[in-house]
A and B are shown apart, each in its own frame.
Chain A
């Protein structure tokens, strides 16, 4: 297990999120905007569909020779003077980073946005050994000050109002009375963080890609913090899932053409930073040490597992933006590091099937996610597979399994089916008025609390057929 199992039912967490009026509005505005931006970007980009197919093929092909590409990547990074570490588990990855911090005498680490480091809960571990981690991506900086976790893969503070951010900054940064003005607040963050960049001992990032052929680690950012973190401190550590490796620079160009468009509708993010080891002898600036931590943490097992396709994920967030469930409940309600449709699959990958007992059903299987995914990951198919796993392993509640097995028996027998219609017709009588049912007991009440139900017809279609012939 990477993360502790969440015991409060998803339904409760979802209901709580639904009750948060500001969150509701913020999610609506943000997701609607991202959807429009993405649609416009691809609308203007006829080569986009072919590139998506190519990108998907590159990801699949890479997995088919993953060992060779990893070997090549390691050899090239070492040739450039960098170090590569291998972490089978989240704990091991944390230990590797802590060791580097201890050995280099780091007191403060600046971090560029990295879901991989969230996944392994690195910040708490750093804090525990006396190394202060400072998030520098504005959204991450905000939630770090608020002691919260990100609620969206690319826009972590989407759930906060500017008023809440102003209040937070005023309190945590001891600058009372700050206005709820994003320009002012951003400027303050810039000032506060500029000092940190210039004095930090250690820079920690994730990586969007690692190009095997050239030993290049690629960071895609908009703010410039990725560049600061990888150039100013004397040590740079990048933590990266093994599935992010790609074979060549030519492949990189394919992904760059679709990644930012999928995430924010931009043709490219403001900064794409290609890091090739520590600084060269002739360079004035740059880290003296470069480390890449290759992270397994459940990924390798999926090469031959049911979630293999989720290893193609570029972490763009497009699936979150279009998901009817995410759009209503936001990221925190999911409970784990990764929210949204892909997040459910990643949660299962990292934490096992028990963690998705409820989450695998946090979907109407509408398929909008698969449509939006730049590498065409068939998320609904894998959600159904997870539901199957949950049943087969006896994780689903026994009462539910009984109901579905009974349903299955009923649907295999036309006699039982007809009997069920007759029984239903009789049983519904006390509840029907004007052909509508407004309230039902127990399980059926879950529907009728908010919606009317049609009554079972006096004669089913099959019963009427003789009259139609």
Chain B
């Protein structure tokens, strides 16, 4: 599956910024754009993006999710490749869009989009074949597997490859790295006490790891983990992978 860009052709990607990154973490989007351009990738941003529809889907509002999916599919119809900074949104597009839009006018486009969509770390390593970067973040770093990237897209390797090959920061293992952070979308406010209790376990594991910074590939996880660290006034940080790779 490792295909590097055809010799001579400039790869073009369309960025699916995701609602959370758009609203709350635009700096992550900026870093991704700068990094990709430095690697010789042309980045476009189809206009009028909102959300992939995952919150609607996960809460069982499937007709509504399908309508949002149909719109997204149309917006990205002309893209050669789409990259997504969140594992959960990438999963939604690749895994659920075809089923949601089966039998509709957008069905074929949904299949095509699913096949052309990449999560950010997967794009760097598997599509571009780039694994070595520098970092100016104070380590040690510890990687948290977001559930949809790990179990939905079966990807635990690409973020680790990038982190382990970083020059400038050490990497330590995170105990229970594959354990959920407790975000789960609306779960975080439907059962906030349970969500917080799960988060506390993650934070305890982070402290035990000796890391100074947790790295993740999902805005939802980051919102939850950063939210907990900030509330505790912790010196530890939680960053998106793109914030750790020097652009």
Chain A residues with CB under 8 Å of chain B are 10-11, 14-15, 18, 324-325, 327-329, 360-368, 370-371, 384-392, 396, 404-405, 407-408, 410-414, 417, 421, 424, 436, 438, 443-444, 446-447, 449-457, 459-462, 464-465, 468
Instruction: Kindly list chain B residues whose C-beta atoms are within 8 Å of the C-beta of A364.
Output: 147, 180, 182-185, 187, 195, 198
Confirm or deny: B48 has a beta carbon within 8 angstroms of a beta carbon on chain A.
Answer: yes
A396–B187 alpha-carbon span in the complex (Å): 15
A182 to chain B, nearest CB (A): 27
Q: Which of B49, B61, B201 contacts A391 (CB 8 A)?
A: B61
Partner of A464, one of B30, B187, B199: B30
Known: A14-B194, A327-B201, A387-B59. 18 other contacts (CB 8 A): A14-B193, A361-B59, A361-B186, A361-B191, A362-B191, A363-B187, A384-B60, A389-B60, A411-B68, A412-B50, A414-B50, A436-B230, A443-B189, A446-B189, A450-B193, A451-B231, A461-B22, A461-B29
> Which B189-232 residues have C-beta < 8 A from chain A?
189-199, 201, 223-224, 226-228, 230-231
Q: Is the CB of B60 within 8 A of A390?
A: yes
CB pair B60 A388 closer than 8 Å: yes
Cβ < 8 Å to A, chain B residues 41-55: 45, 47-51, 53, 55
Docked-complex contact B198 and A324, CB < 8 angstroms: yes
Residues on B with C-beta less than 8 A from A444 are 189
Are B227 and A451 in contact, with the CB atoms below 8 A?
A: yes
A contact residues around B45 at 8 Å (CB)? 462, 465
Between A and B, 9 residue pairs with Cβ closer than 8 Å are: A14-B194, A361-B187, A364-B198, A368-B151, A389-B60, A417-B51, A450-B228, A451-B230, A453-B223
Beta-carbon contact of B24 and A456 below 8 Å: yes
Q: How far is the CA of A414 from the CA of B227 in the complex (A)?
A: 28
Nearest Cβ in chain A — how far from B76, in angstroms? 14
Contacting B24 at CB < 8 Å: which of A327, A329, A408, A457?
A: A457
**B binding-site residues for A, Cβ under 8 Å:** 17, 19, 21-26, 29-30, 33, 45, 47-51, 53, 55-62, 64-65, 67-68, 71, 147-148, 151-152, 178-180, 182-199, 201, 223-224, 226-228, 230-231
CB distance from B90 to the nearest CB of A (A): 15
B71→A462 contact, CB < 8 A: no
Q: Please, how many angstroms separate the alpha-carbon atoms of A461 and B68 in the complex?
A: 20
Across the interface, do A404 and B197 meet the contact criterion of CB distance under 8 Å? no
Q: Are A461's CB and B17's CB within 8 A?
A: yes
Question: Quick one: which of B26, B51, B179, B191 contacts A411, CB cutoff 8 A?
Answer: B51
Shortest 10 CB-CB contacts between residues of A and residues of B: A364-B184, A387-B60, A451-B227, A408-B64, A388-B60, A366-B180, A461-B26, A414-B48, A367-B151, A452-B230
Residues from chain A with Cβ under 8 Å of B58 in the complex: 365, 384, 387
A456 vs B223: C-alpha distance when bound (angstroms): 12
B184 touches A452 (CB 8 A): no
A447 touches B227 (CB 8 A): yes
Q: Evaluate contact between B60 and A391: CB separation under 8 angstroms.
A: yes
Contacts of B184 in A (CB 8 A): 363-366
B56: contacting residue among A408, A455, A457, CB under 8 A: A408
Asked if B24 and A454 sit within 8 Å, CB to CB, the answer is yes
Contact: B24 with A371, CB < 8 Å? no
Kindly list chain B residues whose C-beta atoms are within 8 Å of the C-beta of A421: 23
A449 and B192 contact, CB distance less than 8 A:
yes
Determine if A460 and B23 form an interchain contact, defined as CB atoms under 8 angstroms apart.
yes
- Tell me, rounded to whole Å, the shortest Cβ–Cβ distance linking A414 to chain B: 4
The listed residue (B56, B192, B194, B230) touching A404 by CB distance below 8 A is B56
* B-chain residues with CB within 8 Å of residue A371 when the two chains form the complex: 151
Interface centre among A365, A413, A449 (most CB of B within 10 A): A365
A452 to chain B, nearest CB (A): 4
CA distance A367 to B151 in the complex (A): 6
Q: Is B198's CB under 8 angstroms from A325's CB?
A: yes
| CB contact under 8 A between A462 and B49, given known A15-B193, A405-B64, A412-B68 | yes
A21 to B22, CA, bound (A): 40
A450 and B192 form a contact (CB under 8 A) = yes
Q: With A18-B197, A384-B58, A412-B67 as known contacts, state yes or no: A324 contacts B24, CB within 8 Å.
A: no
- Residue of B with least CB distance to A367: B151
**Which residues from chain B contact A408 at a C-beta distance below 8 Å?**
56, 61, 64-65, 67-68
Nearest to A465 among chain B residues (CB) is B45
Chain B residues near A392 (CB-CB < 8 A): 60
Residues of A within 8 A of B183 (CB): 364
| B192–A365 touching, CB < 8 Å | no
Docked Cα-Cα span, A76 to B231, in Å, equals 65
A412-B71 in contact (CB<8A): yes
Q: Closest B-chain residue to A452, C-beta based?
A: B230
Q: A411 touching B56 by the CB < 8 A rule?
A: yes
User: How far apart sit A360 and B191, CA to CA, in the bound complex (Å)?
Assistant: 12
B65 CB, nearest partner CB in chain A, Å:
8
CB nearest neighbor in A for B33: A468
Residues of B within 8 A of A366 (CB): 147, 151, 180, 184
Nearest-CB distance from A153 to chain B (Å)?
20
Q: A74: shortest Cβ distance to chain B, in Å?
A: 39
Contacts of A370 in B (CB 8 A): 151
A385–B59 CA distance with the chains assembled, in angstroms: 9
CB distance from B38 to the nearest CB of A (A): 13
- CB of A328 within 8 A of CB of B197, answer yes
Contact A450–B196 (Cβ < 8 Å): yes
Chain A positions within 8 Å of B195 at CB level: 364
Task: Give Cα A386 to B191, complex, Å.
Answer: 17
User: Complex Cα distance A49/B119, Å?
Assistant: 27
- C-alpha gap A462/B11 in the complex (Å): 22
Most B CB atoms within 10 A — which of A370, A386, A396, A453?
Answer: A453
Asked whether B188 lies within 8 Å of A361 as measured between CB atoms, the reply is no
* CB closest chain-A residue, reference B184: A364
* Chain A residue nearest in CB terms to B152: A367
Contact B68 A14 (CB under 8 A): no
**A325 contacts across to B, CB distance below 8 A:** 191, 194, 198
Instruction: Give the distance to chain A from B135, nearest Cβ to Cβ, in Å.
Output: 22
Shortest Cβ gap from A286 to chain B (Å): 47
Q: Are A417 and B50 in contact (CB under 8 A)?
A: yes
Residue in B180, B224, B226 whose beta carbon sits within 8 Å of that of A324 in the complex: B180
Measured between alpha carbons, how far is A461 from B152 in the docked complex, in Å? 26
Please name all residues of chain A whose beta carbon is closer than 8 Å to the beta carbon of B185 when the two chains form the complex.
364-365
Among B24, B178, B188, B230, contact of A447 (Cβ-Cβ < 8 Å): B188
Judge whether A447 and B192 touch: CB under 8 Å: yes
Residues of B within 8 A of A384 (CB): 57-58, 60
Q: Are B193 and A454 in contact, CB atoms less than 8 angstroms apart?
A: no
